[in-house]
A and B are shown apart, each in its own frame.
Chain A
Amino acid sequence: GAVVSQHPSWVICKSGTSVKIECRSLDFQATTMFWYRQFPKQSLMLMATSNEGSKATYEQGVEKDKFLINHASLTLSTLTVTSAHPEDSSFYICSFRAPSEAKNIQYFGAGTRLSVL
C-alpha cells in the first residue's frame, strides 16, 4: 500500500501554545486528504476534509479557527492546533486518498499523540 508519513509521532506542549502536525504522502499525489481524531479506546472521528488548493471542510462541532488545516501541495498537509488546552489532548491521524482511488481507499499516517499540560 501507499506510504504516508506523519510527524511528529508524539508531542507534549504547554497549555496555550500551538502545535503543528505534518502529513506527507511519499509515493503518490493526493488531491484529497482527511484529518481524524481518536480518543482512548474509541473510534476515529473525522475532523475535516481538505482538497489541495482549497479551504478545508470541517465536520460539525470542529472549530476551524482552532484546528487550522493547510493542504499546500499534493503531497503535504498540516494540522495546527492553536492555543492548545488539555481537552485537545488526543491521537490525531491523517489519511490521503489518491486521485485514482475513486472507491475511497484511504492510506493512513501513523498518528500523532498530543499531550497538552
Chain B
Amino acid sequence: AQSVTQLDSQVPVFEEAPVELRCNYSSSVSVYLFWYVQYPNQGLQLLLKYLSGSTLVKGINGFEAEFNKSQTSFHLRKPSVHISDTAEYFCAVSTEGYSTLTFGKGTMLLVSP
C-alpha cells in the first residue's frame, strides 16, 4: 500500500515570495504523483502530474514540482505567489494499473499582501 505525507498543514507567505509545499510518499512499487488544488467549497483541480520521463514537471498557474525518487519526494514550488493562490493543496499518489488515489492531509497556503 502507498501513503503520502504532507508535513506542513499550513504555510503562510507574503505575496510575490517563493513557496515550496512539501510532499513525501511511501510505496514499494513505481508511483504516479499528483498535486491538486482546492479552493473553498469547491472540488479538486489538477495542478500537475508526474507519470514518467522528466522529473521536473510544470503545471498550471506557474507551479512546478520535482520528482525525487531517492528522497521519495514530490515537492511543489512556485517562484512568486499571488493572493489568488490561497487555497488547500493536496499531494496524491497512485501505482501501476487502475489503482486508487491516496491523498495527503493537505497544506493550506495562505498568501497575504
Which A residues form the contact surface with B (CB < 8 A)? Answer: 1, 4, 6, 9, 32, 34, 41-44, 46, 49, 91, 93, 95, 97, 102-111, 113
Q: Is the CB of A49 within 8 A of B43?
A: no
- Provide the residues of chain A in CB contact with B86, threshold 8 Å: none
- Give the CA-CA distance A91 to B39 in the complex, in Å: 13
Pick 16 A–B contacts, CB within 8 A, sort by A. A4-B43, A6-B43, A34-B100, A41-B108, A43-B103, A44-B90, A93-B43, A95-B44, A103-B49, A104-B100, A107-B46, A108-B36, A109-B43, A110-B43, A111-B41, A111-B43
- Provide the residues of chain B in CB contact with A34, threshold 8 Å: 100-101
Q: Does chain A have a CB within 8 A of B42?
A: yes
Q: Does chain A have a CB within 8 A of B105?
A: yes
B97 to chain A, nearest CB (A): 8
A98 to chain B, nearest CB (A): 12
Which 8 A/B pairs are nearest by Cβ-Cβ distance?
A104-B94, A108-B43, A108-B44, A110-B43, A111-B43, A43-B105, A43-B103, A103-B51
Q: Is the CB of A104 within 8 A of B99?
A: yes
What number of B residues sit within 8 Å (CB to CB) of A? 23
Identify the closest chain B residue to A94 (Cβ).
B43
- Provide the residues of chain B in CB contact with A43, threshold 8 Å: 90, 103-106
Q: Is the CB of A49 within 8 A of B103?
A: no
- Provide the residues of chain A in CB contact with B49, threshold 8 Å: 103, 105
Q: Is the CB of A102 within 8 A of B103?
A: no
- Provide the residues of chain B in CB contact with A6, threshold 8 Å: 43
Q: Is the CB of B32 within 8 A of A110?
A: no
- Give the CA-CA distance A60 to B57 in the complex, in Å: 34
Q: Is the CB of A104 within 8 A of B101?
A: yes
- Provide the residues of chain B in CB contact with A32, threshold 8 Å: 98
Q: Does chain A have a CB within 8 A of B45?
A: yes
Q: Is the CB of B43 within 8 A of A104?
A: no
- Give the CA-CA distance A4 to B49 in the complex, in Å: 19
